[in-house]
Amino acid sequence: MSRLLRCTSVWLIVACSVVVAQTQTRRVNVPQADNVPLALTHVTVIDATGSPAQLEMNVIISGGRITGLGPAAKVKVPADARVIDASKKFLIPGLWDMHIHVDDGELYPAHPSRADKEAVFPLLIANGVTGVRDMSGGLEQIQQWRTSIALGDLLGPRMFTPGPMVDGKFPVWLGVMRVESEAEARDSVRSLVRRGADLIKVYDSISPGPYFALADEAKRLGMVFAGHVPDQVSAAQVSDAGQKSLEHMYNFPLDCSTGRRVPQGYCRKIRRPQAGPAAALIGECGGACVLKPRKMHGAVRALRAQRHLAVSDVA
């Protein structure tokens, strides 16, 4: 129970309209009411630890923290609290979206405006997502959003981000930090740390030397690094290097097969062009197709240009 009391107060009442009602407008003026306690009464608590649901509970929130939690008959509601009767409702910890791209224009063919991007924030809250890990985008823009959310000028989740990705010689996306040497890799880590990134994200084409230099520099500075399994580094090597997360399932099948073949399921994502540079780079898919890392990136770029490959397939 003491572990729950240390948790932050951003929880979701499933099927409760309190949060959903706030999403009708994008901009909000949320009063700074840290001194006014919030009491959720007679709620069923599911704490996500595997413990059974706890019925008829009171939850007291003060100063942005859960300060009281227990059976409704025992936990007293402060006289000055704002009370929400949560009878027949359920309370769970806020959810996290651990891989989202809010400010990455390359992932949106329509190039949405800032207002369009901000419209996502209340939708996340309405669906119980109170924290996100934005896995590449404009670092300064995301930091501005984070400040606006903290001040109550914008309704949205907690945000953590690496800012721009660190990629190698053959980047697929614009706006990445391109590194081709160990010195450049170390410089990229130091630069992102100075700019206030929350973590470092590595991408597909970074080569082994720069990758391991990045990993070493990140460890030296106490910085978390995460991202894709690069084309020329195995999943086992990435894990041993201390990478905290391996995004998507890219290159896992390659490391589990001989010859680093691309399984047929991956090839099904490609709507094969009949002619042009992409056709020359992509061979026929039988049981598997074999692509060298250099050709892989060239093929992806060519396919994107010809609109044969959905950008979401390689984000």
Instruction: Write down which residue in 29, 61, 93 finishes a domain.
Output: 93
Alpha-carbon span 77 to 82, nearest angstrom: 9
Same domain, 87 and 166: no
Same domain, 106 and 209: yes
3-state secondary structure the chain: CHHHHCCECCEEEECCHHHHHHCCCCECCCCCCCCCCEEEEEEEECCCCCCCCEEEEEEEEECCEEEEEEECCCCCCCCCCEEEECCCCEEEECEEEEEECCCCHHHCCCCCCHHHHHCHHHHHHHCCEEEEEECCCCHHHHHHHHHHHHHCCECCCEEECCCCCEECCCCCCCCCEECCCHHHHHHHHHHHHHHCCCCEEECCCCCHHHHHHHHHHHHHCCCCEEECCCCCCCHHHHHHHCCCCECCCCCHHHHCCHHHCEEHHHHCCCCCCCCCHHHHHCCCCCCEECCCHHHHHHHHHHHHHCCCCCHHHCC
Residue 157, pLDDT above cutoff 50: yes
Same domain, 153 and 284: yes
Instruction: Write down which residue in 58, 74, 93 finishes a domain.
Output: 93
State residue 257's pLDDT score: 67
Same domain, 9 and 76: yes
Alpha-carbon span 16 to 84, nearest angstrom: 10
If pLDDT is split at 50, 70 and 90, which confidence band does 10 have? very low
Alpha-carbon span 256 to 151, nearest angstrom: 48
Residue 36, pLDDT above cutoff 50: yes
Same domain, 82 and 125: no
Arithmetic mean of pLDDT over the chain = 78
For residue range 41-99, list pLDDT tens digits in order: 999 999 999 999 999 999 999 988 999 999 999 999 999 999 999 999 999 999 999 99
If pLDDT is split at 50, 70 and 90, which confidence band does 109 have? low
Same domain, 75 and 113: no
For residue range 224-249, list pLDDT tens digits in order: 999 999 989 988 999 999 999 999 87
Instruction: Write down which residue in 39, 60, 93 finishes a domain.
Output: 93
Residue 307, pLDDT above cutoff 60: no
Same domain, 170 and 80: no
- Expressed in angstroms, the distance from the first to the final Cα of the chain is 40
Range of the domain at 76: 2-93
Same domain, 82 and 155: no
State residue 245's pLDDT score: 93
Same domain, 123 and 250: yes
State residue 105's pLDDT score: 62
Same domain, 166 and 88: no
Same domain, 305 and 199: yes
Among 139-143, 173-177, 210-214, 226-230, the least confident range: 173-177
State residue 34's pLDDT score: 59
Among 18-22, 192-196, 240-244, 247-251, the least confident range: 18-22
Same domain, 255 and 308: yes
Residue 272, pLDDT above cutoff 70: no
State residue 135's pLDDT score: 94
Which of these, 261, 310, 306, 256, lies nearest to 286 by C-alpha position?
261
More reliable by pLDDT, 257 or 163 = 163
Residue 138, pLDDT above cutoff 60: yes
CATH code for the domain of 22: 2.30.40.10
Residue 263, pLDDT above cutoff 90: no
State residue 59's pLDDT score: 97
Residue 294, pLDDT above cutoff 60: no
Residues 277, 178, 101, 303: what is their CA dihedral angle, to the nearest 10 degrees?
A: 0
Which of these, 308, 315, 251, lies nearest to 282 by C-alpha position?
308
* Whole-prediction pTM: 0.71
* Per-residue tokens: 312: 């979401």
Residues above pLDDT 90, as percent of the chain: 57
Domain count of the chain?
2
